[in-house]
């Protein structure tokens, strides 16, 4: 079986990674690549690293011919109408944007913690919520740690900020520096707290501080919160992820390099006895498990393929 | 007046930066450069970027001819005997290592928070304690924030790890990645807590997680702790640093790039109302205000020069 | 069919990339990973980015059980005896080192320019010779350009220098700098000239200057030489590579980023009319087409698989 | 004496570096900073790394109050009218752009090779011509090498491309890659050839290929050309630069890192005996000796200050 598939939003970083993964996936047949400002051009204009660069870039629209499934990799706010129209036509949708992450009619596509199977529409999580929920979700769920008073300091590579042309993303502004942004009001915060509440927390409060680091890919979440029981957090996490093919619980600090290019998530938890807190970490590739890889994982589950089809747990570095 | 000056530990990163600063400082005359494994070689062997590379590298010893002042930039644990011997000879000492940071006979050389003037020996603080104490020291001192339950997530460039030949410091292991290290047991933790207690905290407990970032210089501390009063933390910090020529309190997230190459510290504080916490940040150059720059600042005060002599607050980037 | 396969020299960068590629290749079954200094450890000790990290690291030896084929990724000079012993046992060998590149009993494994099919032993070319020969080999062969007076200035990422623990490869010595090395006497020079003479040049003389660039992977060759005919060099190259699945002739300067992670080579040629010279360029991934990818390509041909099996032409960046 | 000084074009990278240098120079008093799109803002808007960030940004115009000297750091083509108007008012001018580099009424500001003293207007050379002319100018002048058939492959950091907002300068397009640009038609080519002819070459022909490298600052020129005599090129260069305070002839390949942040140029020459060619190299900081540093050096000479005033030969790295 092969499904007629569109990537709408092909020109961005997540779009490119989706195409790279789907090109090697036997179950999805890429029949349409949609790109706003590059409509009428070819794939090589926006992703010269990808093969078959002569493929045309078409419209971003629900009227692009018969489709079985569409991946939307659009700027936040741009998926709403399109997602609705596609669903009305019976097209399955995986939306990598934020428009439907709080909508009960869409599955929240973090398969290790939420049920994604057999849905018809998936709202794929943000990269930061993915890493933070993988790091502490099972601990919150098991009542091992507090869901309030959480401090989540995260570090992301530059592709996490998207491919827009902004001064602050120039090489000459990013290299050799690190900085926080969106302190105390990043839009991912509410998504993280929603995720924790869906996992059973009565109330979740997270102080979330993202940082931009001079690298292309990779995201590390360092999450500190009160330990409430005598359980060994590392064992709780290991038990929770026994059946998860993409999550590995390790006993040393995870490096983002060990995940780049894959759909792998590396999780570790350490206890600071004096303070009575857990420091839980999760390293992912922001474009892999944090975006395109996870979207394909959810699509696999949604259409009945093996969860791991077309995805790898071997990273690229160096 | 010019003082006969030695740098003992000339071959490391902090040693090189000390030489660069002192070469342009009228009050210190570099009469001896000591380097262990490169003894007998020349400065260009270890610091080809510095001028007058034909200067000889001599011994690391207290017997290197008449000195007024010595800067020790040695691996941790290597300064103890040497520092004592130099003091016995009446030589003023600034030790950049950790051996004397808990010793009451040495001044703790963070001039913005502790008295350094007129001492004869200074233990220069570690780079992480410098940034963390500058970020929250005045807030703890004023009782505005809690000194327990502090979460300090910090990010440092690679030169902060020293110039040793370790696999984990190879370009092929560092570039395009971020990772934590020393979780829950880094040796700087006790120094940070000591600093807070010297500033008046009854008890200080800090969960300190340092991270290595793919850049050469720069250190960012992101410190989260409970807000205890209605004070505006940013105003408290600004008031505390009114007379501090190297500390600037700003109202946006500080970037390490804005400090690299200087002795500048950029401090900012943000309140997360829902959680009732302060997120205080400090950006410094780990080799500047975090090492060589701060050591020269303390030396200036110790010998009676103007505090800013030979130091700059203009960074290099790009 | 699946062949019992060993990687001898598993701990280096090329070894790791070989394992990554072969893990996804249906025709080779990795039954032995040999590593000198890490013998007795596991794959995760040396390549934490790769999956199934619990695989054991064994000896580097010809006595490692029955094998059909072995890939040798050893330091230059270390393959000689081992290569001979393996061949005596009837094991096919692909040697990524330089020991057999001048030996007529070994095929020189650059399949676009030399016959590799049906051999029993392949000496895989160096990364620089690969890029330079792909850039100008067909032009020399067709008599379009001069094989003497060639200037080949090349730029390589750091993994090209191997994974050894050297001061000059530390992040703090590589980042934010570029430098030449091995000027006028790099060992690849003779290999480049041999390649050109095998392609028909009466005499080949190349001034070869390699440079180290602050990136992990990627190699760009910029080759300048006299144009001898009225032919359009770009068309000559395009005609030569019509059947080559991994070489693409393009009309803009190739970027190494467009090849990283793949077995792709991007070639372009420009004419400087005033000087009467061609500037031919080739971009590859030094660990892909410059090492592990090309070795697998040659192995495919040697054992009768499709040349492209297990290899990709889609790069990773970003 | 202190001169009323303007920097017109304060917002770019060269403008920022000019301000940084002039702030520490006793002979120039910065009375006006002009910036097009940021007029009305403050220095901290464009150069948050520099001290006294509250300084206002004003117009780019010849009518900015009484001036003794103006530095123009404008996009190529933007200096022509302004330069003329300033000179008519008796203001000395150093133009870092290309508008006047071929104009005999302006001195070509490469003081090591051309007379700059006592002029009233200096056209400061481009970064690539500076490095190439320093590498081979004295060799051409002495008739030791050929001025035709020159191959100049150069590598520059990203700030050399200016601070404009272009896709190709985003971190996500530059990091981990190297590429050539402007092959066979870069506008610096004619400037290089003019320089060589001013030094006595009957005819100069240069094949010039610039490359962009993932670093912020630094420029390396690798220049290959026929050796015509038995002279030792390294000795010829050393003799030529005996009195040049900023040029150092060394006997190993120069690294750009050793010059970054300074006005230093490191030069080396190697002979490839088989080919009969010289490989001459020059490493500079493209913003130092390649732009702002050199402009201040020329200004020093023009107004009668010591050539080295306010400039350093100690680099910053790491």
Q: Which of A131, A154, A180 to mutate to test the interface with B (most CBs of B within 10 A)?
A: A180
pLDDT of residue B76: 84
With CA atoms as reference, the chain D residue closest to C158 would be D176
Residue of C183, C206, C256 with shortest CB distance to D177: C256
A288 touches chain B (CB under 8 A): no
Q: How far is A166 from chain D (nearest CA, A)?
A: 7
Element (DSSP H or E) covering residue B71: strand B69-72
**pLDDT over 90, % of chain B:** 95
Tokens standing for residue A177:
């520096």
Tokens standing for residue B239:
């008031």
pLDDT tens-digit map of C145-182: 999 999 999 999 999 999 989 999 999 999 999 999 99
pLDDT at C76 over 90: no
- Among residues A127, A139, A147, A204, which one is catalytic? A127
pLDDT of residue C295: 98
pLDDT of residue B178: 98
pLDDT of residue D290: 98
Tokens standing for residue B161:
């790890």
The CA distance from C135 to C279, in Å, is 9
Q: DSSP letters of C182-229?
A: STTT-THHHHHHHHHHHTT-S---EEEEEEE-SSSS-EEEEEEEEB-S
Residue of D176, D217, D257 with shortest CB distance to C218: D176
B217 contacts D49? CB cut-off 8 A? no
Report the 10 Å Cβ neighbour count for D198.
16
pLDDT tens-digit map of D209-265: 999 999 999 999 999 999 999 999 999 999 999 999 999 999 999 999 999 999 999
pLDDT at C77 over 90: no
pLDDT tens-digit map of D74-96: 988 889 999 999 999 999 999 99
D175: which chain A residues are within 8 Å (Cβ-Cβ)?
158, 171, 175, 214-216
* Average pLDDT of the residues in A168-186: 94
* Average pLDDT of the residues in C245-260: 98
Q: Which CATH architecture has domain B127-286?
A: 2-Layer Sandwich (3.30)
* Average pLDDT of the residues in D117-130: 95
Active site residue B127: yes
Contacts of A234 (CB under 8 A, 6+ apart): A249, A251, A268, A269, A270
Q: Which partners does chain B have (≥3 C-beta pairs < 8 Å)?
A: A, C, D
Partners of residue D248 on adjacent β-strands: D266
With CA atoms as reference, the chain D residue closest to A13 would be D172
A279: which chain B residues are within 8 Å (Cβ-Cβ)?
183-184, 207, 209
Chain A, window 20-49: residues with a beta carbon less than 8 angstroms from a chain C beta carbon? 20, 23-24, 48-49
The CA distance from A184 to A187, in Å, is 9
Sign of the torsion angle spanned by Cα atoms A279, A283, A286, A289: negative
Residue of A181, A183, A218 with shortest CB distance to B176: A218
Question: D198: cis peptide before it, omega within 30°?
Answer: no
Q: How far is A157 from chain D (nearest CA, A)?
A: 9
pTM above 0.90, yes or no: yes
pLDDT at B185 over 90: no
With CA atoms as reference, the chain C residue closest to D175 would be C215
Q: How far is A211 from chain B (nearest CA, A)?
A: 10
pLDDT of residue C187: 86
The CA distance from B45 to A223, in Å, is 43
pLDDT of residue D76: 84
Q: Which of B131, B152, B180 to mutate to test the interface with A (most CBs of A within 10 A)?
A: B180
* Distance separating the N- and C-terminal Cα atoms of chain C: 35
- Among residues C8, C22, C127, C236, which one is catalytic? C127
B165 contacts C167? CB cut-off 8 A? yes
pLDDT band for B222, please (50, 70, 90 cuts): very high
A106 touches chain C (CB under 8 A): no
Question: Angle D180-D183-D189 (CA atoms, 0-180°, nearest 5)?
Answer: 115
C4 touches chain B (CB under 8 A): no
Report the 10 Å Cβ neighbour count for D76.
13
Using left for φ > 0, alpha for ψ between -120 and 50, and beta otherwise, residue D218 falls in: left
Tokens standing for residue D274:
């088989």
* DSSP category for residue B287: T
pLDDT of residue C223: 98
The CA distance from C178 to D218, in Å, is 8
pLDDT tens-digit map of D128-174: 999 999 999 999 999 999 999 999 999 999 999 989 899 999 999 99
pLDDT of residue C1: 75
Question: Angle A127-A129-A133 (CA atoms, 0-180°, nearest 5)?
Answer: 125
pLDDT at A1 over 80: no
Contacts of A243 (CB under 8 A, 6+ apart): none
pLDDT tens-digit map of A185-228: 888 999 999 999 999 999 999 999 999 999 999 999 999 999 99
C260 contacts D178? CB cut-off 8 A? no
Q: How far is D301 from chain B (nearest CA, A)?
A: 22
- Among residues B127, B154, B227, B278, which one is catalytic? B127
With CA atoms as reference, the chain A residue closest to D47 would be A173
CA atoms within 13 A on the CB side of C246: 34
pLDDT of residue B221: 98
Phi, psi of B68 (to 5 degrees): -95, -35
Instruction: Decide the pairing of beta strands C277-284 and D3-8.
Output: unpaired
With CA atoms as reference, the chain C residue closest to D272 would be C184
Phi, psi of A22 (to 5 degrees): -70, -30
pLDDT of residue C118: 82
B174 contacts C171? CB cut-off 8 A? yes
pLDDT tens-digit map of B250-279: 999 999 999 999 999 999 999 999 999 999
pLDDT of residue B193: 97
pLDDT of residue D185: 84
The CA distance from A37 to A39, in Å, is 6
D179 touches chain C (CB under 8 A): yes
CATH class of the domain defined by D3-125+289-303: alpha beta
Three-class SS of residue C58? Answer: strand
Q: Give every strand in the sheet of C28-34, ordered side by side.
A: C28-34, C3-8, C69-72, C92-95, C121-123, C107-108
pLDDT of residue A285: 98
Q: Which partners does chain C have (≥3 C-beta pairs < 8 Å)?
A: A, B, D
Contacts of A307 (CB under 8 A, 6+ apart): A111, A245, A297, A300, A301
Q: How far is B227 from chain D (nearest CA, A)?
A: 29
The CA distance from C216 to D212, in Å, is 16
Q: Average pLDDT, whole number, for chain B?
A: 96
C147 touches chain D (CB under 8 A): no
Contacts of C117 (CB under 8 A, 6+ apart): C301, C302
Q: Which part of chain C has CATH 3.30.360.10? A: 127-286
pLDDT of residue B133: 98
Q: Average pLDDT, whole number, for chain A?
A: 96
Chain C, window 207-226: residues with a beta carbon less than 8 angstroms from a chain B beta carbon? 214-216
* Average pLDDT of the residues in C232-250: 98
The CA distance from A231 to A233, in Å, is 6
D184: which chain C residues are within 8 Å (Cβ-Cβ)?
270-273, 279
Give Cα separations from A260 to A160, A210, B19, C291 (angstroms): 13, 19, 40, 21
Contacts of B104 (CB under 8 A, 6+ apart): none
The CA distance from C196 to B286, in Å, is 51
pLDDT tens-digit map of D33-53: 999 889 999 999 999 999 999
Of D318 and A277, the structure prediction assigns the larger pLDDT to A277
A314 contacts C50? CB cut-off 8 A? yes
**pLDDT over 70, % of chain C:** 100
Q: Which part of chain A has CATH 3.40.50.720? A: 3-125+289-303
Beta-strand runs (E) in chain C: 3-8, 28-34, 69-72, 92-95, 107-108, 121-123, 150-156, 179-180, 206-212, 219-226, 247-249, 265-272, 277-284
């Amino acid at each position: 079986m092969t499904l007629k598939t569109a990537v709408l939003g092909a020109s961005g970083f997540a779009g490119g990674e989706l195409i790279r993964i789907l090109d090697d996936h036997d179950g999805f047949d890429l029949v349409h690549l949609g790109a706003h400002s590059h409509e009428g051009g070819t794939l090589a204009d926006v992703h010269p690293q990808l093969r078959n660069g002569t493929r045309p870039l078409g419209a971003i629209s629900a009227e692009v011919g018969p489709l079985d499934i569409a991946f939307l990799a659009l700027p936040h706010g741009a998926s709403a109408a399109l997602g609705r129209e596609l669903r009305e036509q019976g097209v399955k949708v995986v939306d990598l944007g934020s428009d439907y992450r709080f909508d009960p009619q869409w599955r929240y596509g973090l398969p290790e913690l939420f049920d994604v199977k057999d849905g018809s529409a998936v709202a794929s999580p943000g990269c930061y919520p993915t890493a933070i929920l993988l790091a502490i979700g099972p601990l919150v769920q098991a009542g091992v740690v507090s869901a309030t008073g959480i401090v989540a300091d995260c570090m992301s590579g530059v592709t996490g900020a998207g491919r827009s042309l902004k001064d602050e993303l120039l090489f000459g502004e990013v290299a050799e520096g690190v900085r926080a942004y969106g302190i105390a009001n990043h839009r991912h915060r509410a998504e993280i707290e929603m995720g924790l509440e869906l996992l059973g927390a009565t109330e979740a409060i997270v102080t979330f501080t993202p940082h931009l680091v001079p690298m292309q890919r990779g995201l590390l979440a360092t999450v500190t919160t009160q330990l409430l029981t005598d359980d060994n957090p590392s064992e709780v996490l290991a038990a929770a992820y026994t059946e998860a093919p993409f999550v590995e619980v390790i006993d040393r600090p995870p490096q983002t390099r060990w995940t780049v290019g894959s759909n792998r998530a590396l999780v570790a938890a350490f206890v600071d006895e004096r303070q009575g807190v857990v420091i839980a970490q999760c390293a992912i590739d922001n474009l892999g498990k944090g975006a395109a890889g996870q979207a394909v994982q959810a699509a696999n589950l949604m259409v009945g393929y093996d969860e791991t089809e077309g995805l790898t747990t071997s990273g690229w570095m160096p």
